[in-house]
Structure 1
Amino acid sequence: MLKRDTASSDSQATTMRHRGSDVVLSIALVAMLAASWLLAGHLVARVPPLVVAAGRTAGSFLVLTAIALSRWQERTQMRAVLGRGRTILLLGFLGFFAYYAGTMLGTGLIGASRVGLITSLLPSMTFAIGMVAFGEPATRGKVLATMLALSGAVGYVLVDGQGSGPGVRPFDGATIAGGLLALGGTFAYAVYGYLYQKHLSDLPTMAALPAVSGAGAIMLTILAISSARLSGLALADLAELAVLGVALTAPVFILLHELIRRRGPLFTAALSLAVPFLIRTGEWALASKGPPSALVLLFLLVCCAGVGLTLAGGPRRIRRLV
């Protein structure tokens, strides 16, 4: 009896430690996601958005590659990943080039909080793509939840979004273009999730991510060099780019996959619902925007409620995101 009680107490203590570490990882993930959007929004105010996109992707590539090379299993599997050249190029284009180009260009036009909210539509958009293009079963509730999330995001962008420059109205072309760019980048990442699951799910994540992120970094760098002037970059800009890629973007990838492994994709995707609120609060705290109005908060809640209802269908659909 004493041995049984001791084993039971040890099991409970282990469970509590795991739960405690999960809480710490969850808080770190949400905080880093919000911080990465705030820093990206700060950078694109003075650095070309495509340079920000290329810099953060290159920084995360270096960190992910160093981690993969330091592990024997991932190091041996990286050769198998490199043998799938067409897949790597396609996934690098969708998951890094299109996603970061669209979201960073969108951030330059409508700001970090609007783009952060649009990217939180990822679970709902993944469901819609799966239903239309991949034959995933749909329910009336999921369709309505997706429409609710989209309507909340559109309302938020139009009410709280302002294009850059003085005297710009909420419904101007810059606001619409910024929203469409962010939406397009999020759409590309949703398709990336399905294709990643189909073509690379048999390999360790840390073995595949360096090649995919490297392909995206090369594409973004070529585009940034050809379309933006790099001569005006200050040392402070380069330092902030390094922080964005090395200290924020790469750790987010690692934390995301670790939480998916521990708690499942449904729990991990639900954490993203807190990010738009933190971004908007951070912009207010940094005095880059005023306090959110009641209507802005309402649209935020509507969007997050729609995404939450989409997630309520279970983890099988959300697993496509990794």
Structure 2
Amino acid sequence: MERSYIFNAGPSALPLEVLQKAQNELVNFENTGMSVMELSHRSPAYDKVHQKAKSLLRELLSIPENYEVLFLQGGASLQFTMIPMNLLGEGVGNYVLTGSWSDKALKEAKKIGDTAVSASTKETNYDRIPTLSELKHNENDAYLHVTSNNTIFGTQWHEFPKNVPTLIADMSSDILSRPLNVSDFGMIYAGAQKNLGPSGVTVVIMRKDLVERIPDNLATMLDYRTHIKSDSLFNTPPTFAIYMLSLVLEWVKEKGGVAEVEAINKEKANLLYDTIDNSGGFYKGHAQKDSRSLMNVTFTLPNEELTKQFLSQAKEKGFVGLNGHRSVGGCRASIYNAVPLEAVKALSEFMQSFQEKA
């Protein structure tokens, strides 16, 4: 069976090599006579998987020793609540609003304590990232929260705020897509289902000194200290998702690491943005050029009828997941790490062919 051209926003494409390796190991993982899904999470066989995933993540992102690496559940959405519960204290949670996910993060924080909006681009339907000079800081900020990439609107931070004592970033949709200076952040968190693996595990990278802020009256499962002390094994973790995460990290390493992956991602994004920019206005990008995402390319066509035709014909040719979100309309091509360059080339050729025939 031929593979589809997968441009889903999430859960997204996984590397074919990873899927094939998982398939080969599915029934009998490393001669245990069991699937990795059947292993006890307390067993030496699973512990090897767990530690490998942590080690590879530290290596690929150059995570310093003064940071914890946690594998949690509940997606990024649970982090919207856990972050203010653990880290807000008597301070202010300051949020930069660049799309629906940052809006949701702020909404949850408001239920916990004091919040502020550092900057927002809502008035232009989130078509850009605020400049650093637009950001407003408060003396009593507990943290500044940003969403590094906005899947719905196709925008991405290309420069992060500096000299922020506790910068927290939701990197669910662009983690591992480019090199990072982890030390610039107090905390990074990411749902796995874009670049890290299948849905089910959430990665949290947290500076160790932040633990001192955590109050003592939290529910056990919502306290970061619980998961730090137990090495993310307090209760049964999503073992298969973590196993798949380890395979994806191994794949990135074999590709040459995050810098090499970034180079391919730029080539893919440039190909689609050039197609849009050279279309004479037939295709129009939603994001302003200096805020364009390397992960999610959003664009519209001249009218709704052409959009329907485009999506219908694209589906017939094996392109999956190109429907734009209702907040923007039009189309969206999500070109995460595992989307091969060949798929993006095929999409670019289809876009040009469709325009010629329209």
Shorter-chain TM-score: what band?
A: under 0.3
Query: Highest relative contact order (Cα 8 Å, sep 6+), 1 or 2?
Result: 1
TM-score, normalised to structure 2's length?
A: 0.25
